[in-house]
Structure 1
Amino acid sequence: MKNEMVSKLATTTIASQSSGWRKPSLGASLLGVLLLAAPAWLPYVGGYNDIASRVLIYALAAMGLNLLLGFTGGLSFGHAAYFGLGSYGVGLMLKYATHSVPMALLGGTLLGGLAATVLAPIAVRRRGIYFAMITIAIGQLFYFLAIRWQSVTGGYDGLTGFSRHAIHFPGWTWTLGSTGFYYLVLLCFALGAALLWVVLNSPLGHTFVAIRENQKRLTFLGVPVQRYAAVSFAISGFVVALAGGLNALLDNFTSPNSLNNTLSGDLVVIAVLGGMRNFWGPFVGAAIFVLVRDYASTVTDNWMSVIGLIFILSVLFFPLGIMGFVQRKGKRS
């Protein structure tokens, strides 16, 4: 009976707000086709494979954060910790343990994800601003650890001396040049998005949304809210760590900046800009953020001012984010 009441609360809320992730859409299929064909059409619009890879990496990280932020209602300003741990995990694995890119990605994802799993019960003991402050403190803890542990992490100079290697299969070798690596990122992005989709469309995902909408009611129903919030935090951490590992492979380098709270703020901006309550909102936000940053940084050193202006205008005129605005306009028409 309790589970039925929780599911009813969640599904009623979802239906009333039409958050846009309950059913696969034609738009998602078209997006998949565009992404698969990206190396063919990007040169005609002035793009290149590495920037497409970075869009997907940031989109995956923001979608992972958004499971906690947009669907569970927990504002984290420390998720760069798990992004950076995934990044350092991949770099250290490739430098000291293995030349296998899949094994390094697995190691980095486990490092960041397990850290999030261990720290989640501590963070979710508080809500609101206190939760955000705890996540900031956790993020800074790992940031200063990376700076001080110079013999392992390289300190301020970052971790170098590793690179991505071809993936060997029986009778076939997957070379990770610019195009090959893009398709590796696309594969990981698809797997991460599929995981999040399945979770959000399951009773567990409905419970996350119910926590966001009415935590007190769930508490009165006897639902262990903190336990479910910790699960959301942990899953989010695994997805963000995977994105961090891919980012290390893209640059063949990682540094304490991948653990900095500035990056955590960027992920929040991406999610809000695209639309926190829309499944594909963070993807749209990541595309805008990365492309504007890439162009603006070639024009001015104050490119963050351009990002800030776009964010302010978005909050003023599109409070539900870009995808939220598009979805609302589509329903009206």
Structure 2
Amino acid sequence: MPEATLRTVSDPGRAGPASRSSRLAPVHWLALIFLAAALGFAAVAWATGNGFYLRLATEALIFAGLAMSVDLLLGYTGLLSLGQALYFGLGAYVSALVLRDVAPSFWLAMAAALLAGGVAGLIGGVIANRVKGVYFALITFGLAQVAAKTVYNTRALGASDGLIGIPQIQVGFGPFSLDTADPLSFFLLVLGLTVVAYAGLSYLMDAPFGRTLAAIRANEKRVPFLGFNAWRYKLAVYVLAACVAALAGALYPMLRGFVSPELMFFETSGNAVITVIVGGVGTLVGPVVGSLLLTALRSVVGSWTEHHLIVVGVIFMLSVIFLRKGLVGALLARLSRRGEQGRATP
């Protein structure tokens, strides 16, 4: 089937190849602005010697990876997963075990987490994609709960105490290396990985694969008539989302030095969904913005009261009511209207 036909079905308003190459999309400009702001923040934090905020920002970026995995399913395919914490926690545990019991190697830990996430995502995807709609959400929720309870009751994995004693490591890049114990170095590493993930996933979502996912989101029943197997594409994006979540989770023990079963609980999955909705569904940069915002709010409000979840809940409700496209989505819509008005003005 011609690519133009799929583009029209998946997103009638999407620009063609010529227009995409001639100018950078507004969402990518926002991503570049975010990157510049993050580098500026790192410079200020380094100058002031404040490692706490660097660690906090690093944690926000790690959970942004989890949120991006949710966005791949919810924003681009129309699938609500309430169990992405399963793969995030799996990546964290695999990474912790490799670093503690096998070898203190960043690349080995990341590779093991990627493999585990891919295998688990394939199994979970085959199970979850047997149903649709709310049943899909319930199946993903159930899978995560089973995994969380299993880990919680397994002594070899530390049971309710989790795994502790994860060593700090050196990450090698040829002749160069950085220390995960250094807040600035690890922040820049995680920031770089976030940029790579955003760029790679954005490219993939703008490719025929991503446009097929958009067609599934718009009208799944029409996709087979266009020559595509919707089930295979949904399985593929589910496995991809699981791998992204697992890789994000693999970074967590490098930051905190421990992992616990709570990483697999529903609160982790629920926070990721809230992050995507607040930041902006179907944008990829929205989850990053949402994660940074909510992490900062939890830290600030948490220093005042233990009831910080109430504030997060209020923000979520306000976003659903007044900003249905999220912060980034609302900003992109505003920029789009200004652009149309500018083109209409003689």
Compute the TM-score of the two structures, normalised by the length of structure 2: 0.88
Q: Read off the aligned partner of 2:177 and give its amino acid letter.
A: T
Secondary structure of 2:281's counterpart equals coil
Q: Which runs of 5+ in 1 are unaligned?
A: 16-20
Separation in 2, partners of 1:169, 1:37: 24
2:79 maps to a residue whose letter is G
Alpha-carbon deviations, 1:185-204, whole Å to 9, x = none? 11221221122112101100
What amino acid does structure 1 have at the position aligned with 2:87? Y
- AA partner of residue 236 (structure 1): A
1:115 aligned residue (86, 105, 120): 120
1:160 aligns with 2:164: yes
2:305 to 292, 300, 307: 300
CA contact (8 A) 1:61 1:239 kept: yes
CA RMSD of aligned residues (A): 2.2
State the shift of 1:306 in Å: 0.6
Equivalent-residue separation in structure 2 for 1:326 and 1:316 (angstroms):
16
Cα distance change, pair 171–78 in 1 and its aligned pair in 2 (3 A): closer
Q: Could you tell me which residue of structure 1 aligns to residue 77 of structure 2?
A: 72
Under a length normalisation based on structure 1, what TM-score does the superposition of the two structures give? 0.92
How many residue pairs match? The answer is: 328
Q: What's the counterpart of residue 105 of structure 1?
A: 110
Distance 2:11 2:98 in 1: 43
* Cα deviation, residue 222, structure 1: 4.3
Task: Give the equivalent residue in structure 2 for 1:18.
Answer: none
Q: 2:165 matched to 1:181?
A: no
Instruction: Return the offset for 1:277.
Output: 2.4
> Which stretch shows the higher mean deviation, 28-37 or 283-292?
28-37
1:265-310: CA deviations, max 9, x gaps? 1100000111102231111111111110111111111110010011
The range that moved more, 39-48 or 186-195, is 39-48
Match of 1:325 in 2: 330
User: C-alpha offsets along residues 168-211 of structure 1, whole Å, 9 cap, x if unaligned?
Assistant: 45654322211111122112212211221121011000001110
Which residue does 2:6 correspond to in 1?
Answer: 6
Larger deviation: 305-314 or 321-330? Answer: 321-330
| CA deviation vs aligned residue, 1:242-271 (integer Å, no higher than 9, x gap) | 111112211111010111111101100000
1:195 pairs with one of 170, 192, 200 = 200
Deviates more, 1:58-67 or 1:169-178: 169-178
**For residues 170 and 200 of structure 1, do their structure 2 counterparts lie closer, same or farther at Cα, with a shift above 3 Å needed?**
closer
Q: Who is 2:291 aligned against?
A: 286
Residue pair 1:77, 1:261 contacting (<8 A) in 2 also: yes
Alignment deviations for residues 201-224 of structure 1 (CA, whole Å, 9 cap, x no partner): 110000011100111111343421
CA shift digits 1:62-110 (9 cap, x unpaired): 1121011110000000000000000001100011111112211221222
Task: Give the Cα separation in 2 of the matches to 1:135 and 1:4.
Answer: 34
- Amino acid aligned to 1:55: A
Alignment of 1:50-89 (within 5 A): 50-89=55-94
In 1: Cα distance, 2:292 partner to 2:186 partner: 18
Measure, in 2, the Cα distance between the counterparts of 1:332 and 1:6.
Answer: 25
Structure 2 residue 44 is the aligned partner of structure 1 residue 41: yes
Task: Compute the displacement of 1:38 (Å).
Answer: 2.7
Counterpart CA distance in 1 for 2:87 and 2:304 is 32
Distance 1:309 1:262 in 2: 16
Q: Does 1:145 align with 2:150?
A: yes
- In 1, Cα distance between equivalents of 2:50 and 2:176: 32
Please give the alpha-carbon distance, in whole angstroms, between the structure 2 residues aligned to 1:95 and 1:119: 27
Q: Is the 8 A contact 1:6 1:218 kept in 2?
A: no
Read off the aligned partner of 2:291 and give its amino acid letter: A
Structure 1 residues 106 and 225: alpha-carbon distance in aligned structure 2, compared to 1, 3 A threshold = same
Instruction: Give the superposition deviation at 1:166.
Output: 1.4
The separation in 2 between residues aligned to 1:47 and 1:325, in whole angstroms, is 31
Matched residue type, 1:141? V
Unaligned runs of 5+ in 2: 16-23, 339-346
Q: What amino acid is aligned across from residue 32 of structure 2 in structure 1?
A: S
1:52 aligned counterpart, secondary structure = helix
Counterpart contact for 2:51–2:183, Cα < 8 Å: no
User: C-alpha separation between the residues in 2 aligned to 1:63 and 1:316?
Assistant: 22
Change (3 A) 1:28 1:169: closer
1:150–1:328 CA distance, 2 compared to 1 (3 A): same
C-alpha distance in 2 between matches for 1:251 and 1:210: 40
- Corresponding position of 2:237: 232
